Structures are given as structure tokens and as C-alpha cells.
């Protein structure tokens, strides 16, 4: 019998590290003329859920009748006047939410939109205090499933002439699969997915309500948090004493419906110590005015930004094909100058 030193009995037991969830996929990336670059796809086998299959909370797996992990239901928030919300805490389990956050930050195009508005009759330039992106089109149009061409939803004929101020683009596969899961859990249909990236606590969104006429009466809007926790602050439009602050954490989903948008304002204020966060909002616009509005304020006409892994920040993205054309043009111009000097 081999002898062990007494210290061996007190040494910490080595634990096998759980492998990270792999979101790499063999599915081809989503491609469309409206995308500045191909957008990577998620694996077809990926299951969105509030619990991982291996979750054994309390030692016993929580499973539904079909053997899948049991979903965690939402908290109903309707204890204040005109408030009608559901808070899924969480909607996605922590491991999936973390990897999805890293995937979307790395693979999606972002914009830092600048636009002009009139304030008290004076033209004012507004610099959006966060990165944004947008995919989708209103209910009057659809994208051809194979070509991505924009068609009239009723006639199935070309609809591109109805969008003079913007170039709508379809929701890529990596977001489409998530949208379909949100639709199923919230029992609502969405045709837009708006993405906000808050790089740090200085990025924010001021008090506002999503009550535009193109959303229809009492719209349902779902808002998902990936990354760091941020405070979601609300106040009633007329009952000033009615206020609410919700810390929205990694994997949470907040569903606002009923009179919430028409009677309440919401914001994500600056927070000094806050880390980076992605917010996905799922909406349903009924008319072309919604498409024009969303693309103006969330894509705009400025440069494209993409996450730079080495720099650890968003950087202006340059199309390598265009850069090569520019370099070739400069080279040819230089050769012409040399020929003229000889």
C-alpha cells in the first residue's frame, strides 16, 4: 500500500473546468447588400433557454415533460398606474447570455449616429450617446427569403421605391433565431430588431417613450440585456410621484405592453462604474414611416464601427476591398507622375 504525505489530504481538489459554450457554426454567414460585411451565423442546434441542460439547482434537474430544461416564468409588474410589464429574470441562462454578448459585439456592424433636430426653432446637432444598429422592415414589406430583395407584403412585387431615405436590410440568421424565441415566449410578433451597445457608464439614453403612431396603439416592445447590469429608470408622464427603477442584469428580458408606452417614460442613465452592455429591443412597426424613422436614428449616414478584439474597443471599419482599390489608384497615379517626369 502506497503512503501519502499528510498534506495530500488537505490539498484542494482539482475541479474540471466546464468548457465554454461554443457558438461557432458551419452555417454560411448572412449576406445582403445592406450589410457592410458578412454577419456570422449561430449553430442550428443552439437552444435558447433560461436554464442550461446541465443545471441541477439544488441537486435535481428541473425538466419539463419533454425532457428539456424547465423555463423560468416572468415576474408580472402591474402594481402601478398604467403599468403593464413582464420581467424575465433571467430569460437566457448566464453562460449563453455571456457568449451571445461576446458574439454579437464581435460580429455586428455598429454606428455612432449624428443627426439634426430643431429645438425651439434652432437647428441642433445631436450625437447619439451609444452605438446602435438596426435590422428589419415594417409590415407593408417583406424580404425575399432567398435573394433578400424587398417586396410589397401584399402584391409580392418590388417595394424598393417606397423607401427613398433608407435601405432596409433583413434580420440576419444570428438575430432571427433569437427573435423567433422571443416571439414564442412573449406571444407577440416583431419585425424590427434594434441593437444598442453601451461601451461604458457614460453611454446612455435619456427619458423617452416608444409611442410613435407607426407602432400602433398600446404596442408590445421586448428589451433584452446582455453584458453588464444597468438601471432601467421609469417615471409616469402625468403622475409625477410614480417612479420605478429596475436593475436589468445579464440575460434579462423586460416586456413593455398595454399603456406602458403611452403613460410612462423610460431611460438608461449614466452610471460611473457601469461596464459594457448590449441591449436588444424587439418591435413591430406597421407603416413605412417606422422604417424611415428607425434607420435614420439607428444607422444614419456615418461610418461603420466594428469591434476590434486587439484594441478592446469599437473602431471605424474599413472595407479592405475599397482600401485595395484606393491603394491601387494611388499607385497608378504615382506611376503616371513618374512617367511624366522622365
Cell for 200? 461604458
Q: Is 277 annotated as a binding residue?
A: yes
**Conformational region of residue 82, where left means phi above 0, alpha means psi within -120 to 50, and beta covers everything else:** left
* Residue appearing with cell numbers 457568449: 99
DSSP string for 95-164? HHHHHHHHHHHHHS-BB--EEEEEETTEEEEEE-SSEEEEEE--TTEEE-TTT--EEETTT-SB-GGG-T
Q: What is the C-alpha separation between 54 and 217, in angstroms, rounded?
A: 42
Task: Report whether 198 belongs to an annotated binding site.
Answer: yes
Chain-centroid distance of CA 186 in Å reads 17
Torsion of CA 315, 321, 324, 329, to 10 degrees: -120
Q: What is the DSSP letter of 26?
A: S
- Known binder of ligand: residue 315? no
CA distance 335 to 292: 45
Cell of 84: 403593464
Establish whether 211 is an annotated binding residue: yes
Q: Residue 81: CB partners within 8 Å, gap ≥ 6?
A: 236, 239, 242, 263
Exposure string of 298-332, with b = 16+ CB inside 10 Å and e = fewer, is: bbbeeebbbbeeeeeebeebeeeeeeeeeeeeeee
Q: Cell numbers 445579464 correspond to what residue?
A: 250
Quick check: 267 and 237 in contact, CB under 8 A?
A: no
**266 marked ligand binding residue:** yes
Name the binding residues: 196, 198, 208, 211, 266, 277, 281, 283
Which residues belong to the annotated binding site for 2-oxoglutarate?
Answer: 196, 198, 208, 266, 277, 281, 283
**Binding site for substrate: which residues?**
211
Amino acid at each position: 500500500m502506497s503512503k501519502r504525505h499528510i498534506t495530500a489530504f488537505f490539498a484542494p481538489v482539482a475541479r474540471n473546468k466546464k468548457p465554454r459554450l461554443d457558438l461557432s457554426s458551419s452555417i454560411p454567414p448572412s449576406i445582403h447588400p445592406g450589410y457592410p460585411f458578412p454577419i456570422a451565423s449561430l449553430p442550428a442546434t443552439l437552444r435558447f433557454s433560461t436554464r442550461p441542460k446541465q443545471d441541477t439547482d439544488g441537486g435535481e434537474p428541473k425538466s419539463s415533460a419533454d425532457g428539456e430544461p424547465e423555463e423560468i416564468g416572468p415576474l408580472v409588474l402591474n402594481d402601478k398606474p398604467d403599468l403593464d410589464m413582464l420581467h424575465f429574470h433571467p430569460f437566457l441562462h448566464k453562460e449563453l447570455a455571456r457568449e451571445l454578448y461576446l458574439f454579437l459585439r464581435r460580429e455586428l456592424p455598429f454606428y455612432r449616429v449624428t443627426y439634426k433636430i430643431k429645438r425651439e426653432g434652432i437647428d441642433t446637432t445631436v450625437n447619439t450617446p451609444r452605438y446602435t444598429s438596426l435590422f428589419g422592415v415594417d409590415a407593408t414589406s417583406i424580404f425575399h427569403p432567398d435573394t433578400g430583395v424587398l417586396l410589397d407584403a401584399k402584391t409580392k412585387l418590388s417595394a424598393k421605391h417606397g423607401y427613398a431615405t433608407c435601405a432596409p436590410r433583413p434580420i440576419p440568421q444570428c438575430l432571427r433565431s433569437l427573435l423567433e424565441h422571443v416571439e414564442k415566449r412573449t406571444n407577440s410578433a416583431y419585425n424590427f430588431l434594434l441593437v444598442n451597445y453601451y461601451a461604458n457608464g457614460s453611454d446612455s439614453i435619456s427619458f423617452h417613450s416608444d409611442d410613435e403612431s407607426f407602432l400602433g396603439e398600446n404596442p408590445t416592445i421586448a428589451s433584452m440585456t446582455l453584458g453588464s447590469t444597468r438601471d432601467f429608470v421609469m417615471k409616469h408622464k402625468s403622475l409625477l410621484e410614480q417612479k420605478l427603477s429596475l436593475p436589468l442584469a445579464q440575460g434579462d428580458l423586460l416586456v413593455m405592453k398595454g399603456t406602458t408606452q403611452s403613460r410612462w417614460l423610460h431611460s438608461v442613465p449614466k452610471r460611473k462604474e457601469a461596464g459594457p452592455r448590449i441591449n436588444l429591443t424587439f418591435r413591430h412597426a406597421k407603416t413605412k414611416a417606422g422604417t424611415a424613422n428607425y434607420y435614420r436614428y439607428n444607422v444614419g449616414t456615418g461610418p461603420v464601427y466594428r469591434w476590434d478584439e486587439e484594441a478592446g474597443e469599437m473602431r471605424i471599419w474599413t472595407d479592405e476591398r475599397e482600401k485595395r482599390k484606393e491603394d491601387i489608384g494611388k499607385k497608378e497615379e504615382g506611376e503616371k507622375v513618374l512617367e511624366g517626369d522622365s
